[in-house]
Amino acid sequence: MRLISEFKDSVKFVIAAISIVLATYFFVIKNTTIPFLLDKIKAQKFYNVFSKYYDLLNPFVYTFDMRKEVVRMLNSKGEDVILELGCGTGYTTEGVILHNKFKILVALDLNKEQLKRAKAKIKHPFVSFVRGDSYYLPFRSFVFDGIITAGMIEYINYPVYFFKEATRVIKNSGTFVIAGPEYKWFSKFGISRFFYTPRIEEMVLFYKNFGYANIQYKLLGPKTYFKTEKYAFSIKGDKYFNENEKELIIIQNANRI
């Protein structure tokens, strides 16, 4: 039984991976010399086309089991106000709704097509969708009890600014969960050239530098013949500000280019 399911998952994984690579090549990489997903305009162009097929392929590379592990790290309570960054078509949003408690969930994405699909799929009285950029969040400071983002870190060219902005809007002691591709597996195939695939150690360092405590992480992935079991990471930390605040500001400024 296990062998059959592993075989099936491997086949699905290959189909999804080939489709994503081909779509990427024909629509975006051709005629470009820079890592395309890090170029906002090209990434948007990619999603304007790829959005139609996203829900069909995504669960093969980011499975329901992986999603369950990621959203559980949020560990939210019934009175919590949650923000999701890069919600896409609402795949992780659905996971948060299924496995978490919350009072309000705000899901943000830059791409119109992706948001259109998310809105059509999710009709929930306490979930709202916002078009916006994770680098410049349209929210006041210290408003969210938790932030979750899955599969968006790979688009982030300036992780320091991204962390700074998320940390601004999260309340003290709020939880910040990030899931994305981990460097080790992706670098083997040279795919890490096309988007940001941080090492897990690098992510831990970001959390530490931005003053998060209780940092925990897991490596996740579908079980296939291609050793993908640990090709993604999910990491969380709780924002911790008090006497260290002054020092943190210095660290953030020091990272500015």
Rounded least distance, CB 58 to ligand SAM, Å: 5
**CB environment 56-87: b (16+ within 10 A), e (fewer):** ebbbbbbbeebbebbbbbbebeeebbbbbbbb
148-167 footprint of ligand SAM as x/- string (CB under 6 A): --xxx--x------------
Question: Does residue 36 belong to the site contacting ligand SAM (CB under 6 A)?
Answer: no
84 DSSP β-pair partners: 107, 148
Question: Does residue 237 belong to the site contacting ligand SAM (CB under 6 A)?
Answer: no
Residue with Cβ nearer ligand SAM (88 or 222)? 88
Secondary structure (DSSP) of 42-92 = HHHHHHHHHHHHHHHHHHHHS-HHHHHHHHHTT---TT-EEEEES-TTTHH
Residue with tokens 């916002």: 130
Question: Does residue 87 belong to the site contacting ligand SAM (CB under 6 A)?
Answer: yes
Angle between helices 200-209 and 245-254 in degrees, nearest 10: 130
Interface residue with ligand SAM among 20, 28, 86, 117 (CB under 6 A) is 86
Question: Does residue 43 belong to the site contacting ligand SAM (CB under 6 A)?
Answer: yes
Residue with Cβ nearer ligand SAM (155 or 206)? 155
Which residues are at the interface with ligand SAM (CB under 6 A)? Answer: 43, 47, 58, 85-88, 91-92, 108-111, 114, 133-135, 150-152, 155
